[in-house]
Amino acid sequence: MMDILTFDKENCERMQAVENSFGPSGSPLSKPGRILMGEGRLIKQGRRRPEPKVFFLFNDVLVYGSIILNGRWYKKQKIIPLEDIKLEDMEDSEKLKNQWLIRTPRKSFFVSAPSYEEKRAWIEHIEECRTSLLQGGGLQPGSNFANSWIPDQAAYKCMRCLKKFTATNRRHHCRKCGFLVCNTCSRHRALIDHIHPTKKLRICNFCHKDKEDDKSRIRGDSTGKTSSEEEDVAASSDEEEEEEVIQSHTQSNWLDSQLGTWGNTSIYVYPKPMHLRP
């Protein structure tokens, strides 16, 4: 009984420290039954460049944010329910190593770890927490996931019409396929329910045509059902998500003394209390 009370107290203190580190702009993280399972740093592939992010794994959500003061202060807090996460392993290439894809309904992105061991530790712990959460009942795993965006530096031409990007012919992202496209090839807007249920988002001409074909097939089926969605083709201004430029890329050392059995990595996995161990 004393071990349980001690663990609960330590867990509450850890969660409160994480919550405080995001300042007033962060959402509350402390709640009954929530446990901080581990934390560490990963490199997230942003739209413009790779950036170091801090990640916190709880038994029901994955939280990450931009690093302001390593180990003490973060911002741009993102919270992802574990039931809405799907992980896809990626093979190493000459330039990209220890990388995997985190897919969610609203946004999908690549992350990489400093070592293969840390990559496996993150994947295995996220999967373990997600499995335990779903086995607890009452939650259903996500089924619709956003496509990951092609990074800006990966294409110098529109991936639909092949016109070169310039200072006036800017890059945009199709929210449906994730391709880099010019404004001419992405004038259409559409609702993508699993990304944003009420706001029409920029899509490319190809995805617009594919969506229109789907609607035509629905209108012509034997049930006589029709679609209520309307396409907005006005070329409204696009509010691209701007990734924060982080100046410091030095490795974290504030957890080095507590790496436990996970070797020389920057992930720290908190020990479970006896009553939660299998």
Q: Return the CATH number at 57.
A: 2.30.29.30
Look at 139 and 108; give whichever has higher pLDDT.
108
The Cα–Cα gap between 48 and 83 comes to: 28
The Cα–Cα gap between 241 and 188 comes to: 18
Work out the average pLDDT over 149-159.
87
Residues 12, 109 within the same domain? yes
Work out the average pLDDT over 143-152.
86
Residues 35, 113 within the same domain? yes
Work out the percent of the chain whose per-residue pLDDT is above 70. 77
Q: Is residue 239 part of a domain?
A: no
Residue 265, amino acid:
T
Report whether pLDDT(239) > 50: no
Work out the average pLDDT over 201-229.
65
**Beta bridge partners of residue 100, listed in sequence order:** 89, 111
Domain total of the chain: 2
Report whether pLDDT(120) > 60: yes
Work out the average pLDDT over 137-158.
86
Q: Is residue 225 part of a domain?
A: no
The helix/strand/coil state of 52 is strand
The Cα–Cα gap between 51 and 232 comes to: 34
Confidence of residue 273 (pLDDT cuts 50, 70, 90): low
pTM equals 0.72
Least confident of 52-61, 94-103, 255-264: 255-264
Look at 262 and 140; give whichever has higher pLDDT.
140
- The label of the residue with tokens 């799907």 reads 86
Report whether pLDDT(50) > 70: yes
Q: What is the pLDDT of residue 80?
A: 96
Q: What is the pLDDT of residue 182?
A: 96
Report whether pLDDT(176) > 60: yes
Report whether pLDDT(37) > 50: yes
Report whether pLDDT(193) > 90: no
Work out the average pLDDT over 122-136.
94
Residues 127, 25 within the same domain? yes
Residues 175, 88 within the same domain? no
Show the beta-strand stretches assigned E in 73-232: 73-81, 86-89, 99-103, 109-112, 172-173, 180-181, 188-192, 196-203
Which tokens belong to 154?
């990966």
Residues 6+ apart with CB under 8 A from 58: 15, 29, 34, 35, 36, 37, 129
Residues 120, 66 within the same domain? yes
Work out the percent of the chain whose per-residue pLDDT is above 90. 55
By residue range, what is the domain housing residue 186?
153-219
Work out the average pLDDT over 241-246.
32
Which tokens belong to 175?
């929210």
